[in-house]
Chain A
Amino acid sequence: MKIKMKYFGLITNDLGSEAELPEGSSVSDLLNHIVKQDPNYKEILTRATILVNNSKVDIDTVLKHNDEVMVLAVLGGG
């Protein structure tokens, strides 16, 4: 299934606007997928706010085809 992706904040490299994941994948699976793309973001992702279709979710949430995910890595100051 395809997940529409948007990244903000500390995740500044281009990780693409879509993620391809097996049916039944969770937010946790999605985060692992991102870490495989760029291992440098592993620590930042543990602190990021994840929104699915504009709602905050926990990492066990199961994703659906065409879900819109925002990965919001805030700085923690400024």
Chain B
Amino acid sequence: MLYGYAGKMLFVNLSNDEIKEEILTKELAEKFIGGYGFGAKILYEMMPAGADPLGPENILGFLTGPTTGTKSFFSGRYTIVHKSPVTGGWNDANSGGYFGPELKKAGYDAIFINGISEKPVYIYINDGKVEIRDASHLWGMDTKKVWSVLKEETKEQRLRISAIGPAGERLSYISCPINDGHRAPGRGGGGAVMGSKNLKAIAVRGTGEIPVKNPEKLLEINKKISAVMKESQTAYAFRTWGTGVGTPASALSGDSPVKNWGGVGVLDFEDDKAQKVGAIALDRYKTKKYSCANCPLGCGAEYKVEDGRWPIEQTERPEYETAAAFGSTCLCSEEDALLMCNEICNIYGIDTISAGMTVAWAMECYNEGVLSKEELDGIDLTWGNGEAMVALLQKMADGDGCGKILANGSQYAAKYWGKGQEYLQTASGIELPMHDPRFAPGLARTYQFDPTPGRHVKGGIGSLQMGGNELTDKYVYTDTGMMDLVLTTNTEIMNSSGLCYFHALVSPPGVQNEFISAITGMEFDDKESLKTGQRIYLMRHAFNVREGLKPSDFKLTRRAVGKPPLTAGPLQGVTVDEELLGKNFFESAGIDFETGKPSLELLQKLGGLDEVIADMYVKAGETV
């Protein structure tokens, strides 16, 4: 028995309906922990280079980690992995809620799906029994409706699903699966990958127990966290108002982008506007708190919107990223428009970050005369116009008119129309998230060079700087490599173990390693975290190298690094040396910046990377 794991992985080929189980090996568990650690290893082994992201060879994985399904606090997350139709490279994205724990309790640490079904299907897993079922009657349904229909159909009221909405069915590059009605592994086009396979949903019900090596120790760790949280103002704010409590502060400080990354909060989105889309102001809509599985923080909430132009009987509190994307980035302070955009994204299955950013790009193009009103189907997309924002997003969700083009994101739209490239704010083609590298410069390295580009949840020194922590002057870019590496590998472990990013904001240091040790029985210390984190990072990195992507192929648009710098506000004059940050990181990580090759010595020392050695060294004819 492997402590901390269900012990099995499921492989489903939708082209021939083949369903296979494989035993999770001790070696895979120890060397790659779980989540995208497993995902990177399996996809590297099983997928050919150059696979079409929307073709049968792309493998879509849904994965859990060792904390998932245990009593560990903050353990409600699962991860999806696949090749991205947006970036053409590796993709991972994770989500909270209850789907991950349910999947693992149903008997599987992971599901990998390849092939393409001839007709719409869903995969139903109930305590180890797996079926591929017809989903023709579900096609076209939104993500909330399909959940309620499947609960009835399976007669399982505690059913959890991860499903695409109509956007994923239409292969929108900014679409994503949604679980629990509003939680999303949002980024990188996972909805389109699922839609390309004619896979409407994965529905799971599980009652199994996950074996834990030292359950008493696990509860002790939880208690330790509770004690710290009791005294934590951060925990209080998160618990009371959620992540959106920070929206106004971020807009005004320069943490969040303003006016498609070209504006200044204190001048273009003043405090009275910023506060309108903050969670404290929106709290009047709250009807109920929402917590993910085993979360003592509970940063979610249900809302009822009775006033405004778009009343909604039951919806959810927008996350910070959503509020910033449709708020400060579009200069929109109309709260009913924000809430409606959030709801549209949730029910159609759309990534709120890429959607808000694509609208912001179109707004700038329209206001600068690059896109005409006719090209936008008559929508008067002036800055901050909430009505226009909702109308455009609805078109994107419906795949209607200009919305069909914009539903593939800003990069696709700029290419399609052959203009507006100068207003793109992207990393390797994916829209940037809502933390500005001019405020937290370390993010320039992760946004540009992480194997999953354009993410704010990939650790590194930027993750400290985001919260205002400055161990050294953040605008000095020398000697950043080792600290950046350690903080990145730590995050590789967090994401792979199934823990939530926010645990680190309200927990005593070290609980991540303690959880893994208590649950699995491994002696998982800082040294092991660094080594295992490096291995997982290199596996994701190697996937991209095999696709022909070297570090120099990863591009970040210029405004995000202050080129040119802003001329006013708190970030006035800031320019980030993202190339130096990248070179420092790759040097410390043992990766050649020019070729993308990790050193042979490092690969051999870390172990578990034989396929990478074979591809990068043996096949290249080098002596090993």
Check: A72 CB closer than 8 A to any chain B CB.
yes
Is A49 within 8 A of B468, CB to CB?
yes
User: B237, B253, B456: which contacts A12 (Cβ < 8 A)?
Assistant: B237
B window 205-235: CB within 8 A of A: 233-234
Is B234 within 8 A of A74, CB to CB?
no
Is B271 within 8 A of A70, CB to CB?
yes
Is B456 within 8 A of A72, CB to CB?
no
B502 nearest CB neighbor, chain A only: A77
Q: Mark B149-179, 1 if CB is under 8 A from A, else 0.
A: 0000000000000000000000000000000
A7 to chain B, nearest CB (A): 9
Check: A30 CB closer than 8 A to any chain B CB.
no
Check: B320 CB closer than 8 A to any chain A CB.
yes
Is A70 within 8 A of B233, CB to CB?
no
B252 nearest CB neighbor, chain A only: A72
Q: A8-B271, A40-B233 are in contact. Are A73 and B320 (CB under 8 A)?
A: no
Check: B414 CB closer than 8 A to any chain A CB.
no
A12, B248: Cα distance in complex, Å: 12
Q: A8-B271, A10-B233, A49-B253 are in contact. Are A78 and B570 (CB under 8 A)?
A: no
Q: A47-B468, A51-B252, A54-B267 are in contact. Are A75 and B569 (CB under 8 A)?
A: no
Chain A residues with Cβ under 8 A from B74's Cβ? none
A41 nearest CB neighbor, chain B only: B233
A window 1-48: CB within 8 A of B: 6, 8-12, 40-41, 43-44, 46-48
Is A77 within 8 A of B245, CB to CB?
no
A10 nearest CB neighbor, chain B only: B237
Is B456 within 8 A of A73, CB to CB?
no
Chain B residues with Cβ under 8 A from A9's Cβ? 237, 245-246, 248-250
A70, B253: Cα distance in complex, Å: 9
User: A44, A49, A77: which contacts B233 (Cβ < 8 A)?
Assistant: A44
B window 442-501: CB within 8 A of A: 456-457, 463-464, 466-469, 501
Is B501 within 8 A of A77, CB to CB?
yes
Is A75 within 8 A of B467, CB to CB?
yes
B275 to chain A, nearest CB (A): 8
B612 to chain A, nearest CB (A): 31
Chain A residues with Cβ under 8 A from B586's Cβ? none
B470 nearest CB neighbor, chain A only: A47
Chain B residues with Cβ under 8 A from A54's Cβ? 266-267, 569-570
Check: B505 CB closer than 8 A to any chain A CB.
yes
DSSP majority for the A interface? mixed
Chain B residues with Cβ under 8 A from A49's Cβ? 249, 253-255, 468, 570
Is B266 within 8 A of A75, CB to CB?
no
Is B244 within 8 A of A78, CB to CB?
yes
A10, B239: Cα distance in complex, Å: 11
A25 to chain B, nearest CB (A): 21
Q: Mark B565-580, 1 if CB is under 8 A from A, else 0.
A: 0000111100000000
Chain A residues with Cβ under 8 A from B569's Cβ? 54-55
User: A12, A40, A44: which contacts B280 (Cβ < 8 A)?
Assistant: A12
Is B243 within 8 A of A72, CB to CB?
no
Is A74 within 8 A of B266, CB to CB?
no
User: B250, B266, B274, B275: which contacts A51 (Cβ < 8 A)?
Assistant: B266
Is A8 within 8 A of B466, CB to CB?
no
B520 to chain A, nearest CB (A): 26
Is B249 within 8 A of A8, CB to CB?
yes
Max chain B Cβ within 10 angstroms of own Cβ: one of A55, A73, A76: A76
A77, B321: Cα distance in complex, Å: 9
Chain A residues with Cβ under 8 A from B599's Cβ? none
B234 nearest CB neighbor, chain A only: A10
Q: Mark A59-78, 1 if CB is under 8 A from B, else 0.
A: 00000000000101111111
Chain A residues with Cβ under 8 A from B253's Cβ? 49, 51, 72, 74
Check: B142 CB closer than 8 A to any chain A CB.
no
Is B250 within 8 A of A6, CB to CB?
no
A54 nearest CB neighbor, chain B only: B266
Chain A residues with Cβ under 8 A from B252's Cβ? 8, 51, 70, 72
Chain A residues with Cβ under 8 A from B234's Cβ? 10, 44, 75
Is B266 within 8 A of A76, CB to CB?
no
A12, B239: Cα distance in complex, Å: 12
Q: Mark B497-529, 1 if CB is under 8 A from A, else 0.
A: 000011001000000000000000000000000
Interface residue ranges, B against A (CB under 8 Å): 233-234, 236-238, 240-241, 243-246, 248-250, 252-255, 266-267, 271, 274-275, 278, 280, 319-321, 456-457, 463-464, 466-469, 501-502, 505, 569-572
* 6 smallest beta-carbon distances between A and B, as pairs: A76-B467, A9-B249, A47-B468, A78-B243, A78-B320, A75-B246
**Interface contacts beyond A10-B245, A49-B570, A75-B249: sample of 8 additional A-B pairs, CB < 8 Å, sorted by A:** A9-B246, A12-B240, A12-B245, A49-B468, A55-B570, A74-B253, A75-B234, A76-B464
Supply 10 A–B pairs (Cβ within 8 Å), ascending by A.
Answer: A8-B249, A9-B250, A41-B233, A48-B468, A51-B252, A74-B249, A75-B246, A76-B466, A76-B467, A77-B457
